[in-house]
């Protein structure tokens, strides 16, 4: 009996793939488990793939993955010896269009039965739709953060690499899935195994949960001037209630005119224009990723009226907010 128990995996994981899931996030989650098994010489981790209907699922890169079970089949296993210890919902682009209630019910029931539930890339959206993230910490890809925060105000969402809140696991996708799984392996098998997994995966360290998702502003924008970088950070933190240029200048310890000259030199446009385009960019993400009324999006991005918002949006993107949303809905219908 002791030998039989030793042969059992430490964790059995279900990866639930939904259409347009992120292949890079999925691969970075499953591969460290495979490597860990190889290093320790036994099946410490066992996993299987599922999809809403049991059919193959196409990732956002066009590669289709076959699975071994449907959600309904996996749901029956929740009350049998085949119950997994963890479930990771894997999603990607257009996650806000996914509305399979059977999937949400499955995640909710699994959590109620004590199964750890997680989301990869935009998977936090699925967990939130299942009602699992109210008052809980979570992470999601930076591109989807604004829409998620507006859609699920009770969730504590962060631009972190990953978050582990009790038995709820979420990560920002991409290579962040690797860091989250390495943290899991460290908890199970210790630093020695994790270090060897890192060597095999050609990564030099396990990043901390609160490491930044995006590259620093200096690298992202090609700007080195510390005052300009600080001004942009202040703008990013005040999109819903824009500060005046005088207030921004005061925060960075410069005069209004000095800030204007620096932006013209470093960014090639005025600080007011840069701030406006930043707010409109957030609005575009919300139009594409949320069902919020356009007037609420306008307010969330610091515009005093829907008409002013529409005018500015059309000037920058050559289409109205209504046309932007209609185009998104058209793509969703075509994909379905």
The DSSP string of 176-218 is HHHHHHHHHHHHHH-HHHHHHHHHHHT-S----TTSBSSPPHH
| 8 Å CB contact between 60 and 27 | no
Per-residue pLDDT, 214: 73
Q: What is the 3-state secondary structure (H, E, C) of 269-294?
A: CCHHHHHHHHHHHHHHHHHHHCCCCH
In the predicted structure, residue 231 carries a pLDDT above the cut 70: yes
Minimum mean pLDDT among 119-133, 137-151, 204-218, 314-328: which range? 204-218
CB atoms near residue 133 (< 10 Å): 25
Q: Residues near 326 by Cβ (< 8 Å), separated by ≥ 6? A: none
CB atoms near residue 176 (< 10 Å): 26
List Cα–Cα distances, 89 to 122, 140, 167, in angstroms: 9, 13, 14
Q: What is the rounded CA–CA span in Å between residue 68 and residue 157?
A: 32
CB atoms near residue 306 (< 10 Å): 16
Q: What is the rounded CA–CA span in Å between residue 105 and residue 112?
A: 11
φ/ψ (deg, to 5) at 120: -105, 140
pTM for the structure as a whole? 0.79
What whole-number percentage of the chain has pLDDT above 90? 79
Q: What is the pLDDT of residues 56-91, one digit of tens each?
A: 999 999 999 999 999 999 999 999 988 999 999 999
Domains and CATH numbers, the chain: 2-201 (3.40.50.880), 217-335 (1.10.10.60)
Mean pLDDT computed over every residue of the chain: 92
Query: Mapping DSSP to helix (H, G, I), strand (E, B) and coil, where does residue 86 land?
Result: strand
Q: Residues near 110 by Cβ (< 8 Å), separated by ≥ 6? A: 78, 84, 87, 117
φ/ψ (deg, to 5) at 53: -110, 5
Per-residue pLDDT, 330: 55
């Amino acid at each position: 009996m002791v030998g039989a128990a030793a042969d059992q995996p430490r964790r059995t994981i279900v990866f639930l793939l939904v259409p347009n899931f992120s292949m890079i996030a999925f691969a970075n989650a499953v591969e460290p488990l495979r490597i860990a098994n190889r290093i320790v010489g036994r099946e410490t981790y066992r996993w299987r793939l599922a999809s809403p209907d049991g059919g193959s699922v196409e990732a956002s890169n066009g590669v289709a993955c076959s699975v071994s079970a449907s959600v309904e089949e996996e749901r029956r296993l929740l009350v049998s010896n085949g119950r997994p210890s963890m479930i990771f919902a894997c999603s990607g682009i257009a996650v806000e269009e996914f509305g399979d209630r059977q999937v949400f019910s499955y995640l909710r029931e699994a959590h109620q039965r004590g199964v750890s539930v997680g989301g990869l890339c935009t998977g936090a959206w699925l967990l939130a739709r299942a009602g699992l993230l109210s008052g809980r910490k979570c992470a999601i890809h930076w591109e989807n953060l604004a829409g998620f925060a507006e859609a699920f105000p009770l969730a504590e969402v962060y631009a972190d690499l990953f978050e582990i809140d009790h038995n709820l696991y979420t990560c920002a996708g991409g290579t962040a899935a690797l860091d989250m799984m390495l943290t899991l392996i460290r908890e199970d098998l210790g630093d020695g195994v994790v270090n060897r997994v890192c060597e095999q995966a050609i990564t030099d360290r396990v990043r901390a949960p609160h490491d930044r998702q995006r590259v620093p502003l200096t690298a992202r924008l090609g700007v080195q001037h510390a005052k300009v970088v600080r001004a942009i950070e202040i703008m990013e933190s005040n999109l819903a209630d824009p500060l005046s240029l005088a207030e921004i200048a005061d925060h960075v310890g410069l005069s209004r005119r000095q800030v204007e000259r620096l932006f013209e030199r470093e960014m090639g446009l005025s600080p007011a224009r840069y701030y406006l385009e930043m707010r409109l960019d957030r609005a575009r993400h919300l139009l594409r990723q949320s069902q919020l009324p356009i007037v609420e999006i306008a307010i969330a991005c610091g515009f005093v009226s829907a008409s002013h918002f529409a005018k500015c949006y059309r000037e920058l993107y050559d289409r109205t907010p209504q046309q932007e949303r209609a185009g998104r809905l058209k793509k969703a219908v075509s994909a379905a």
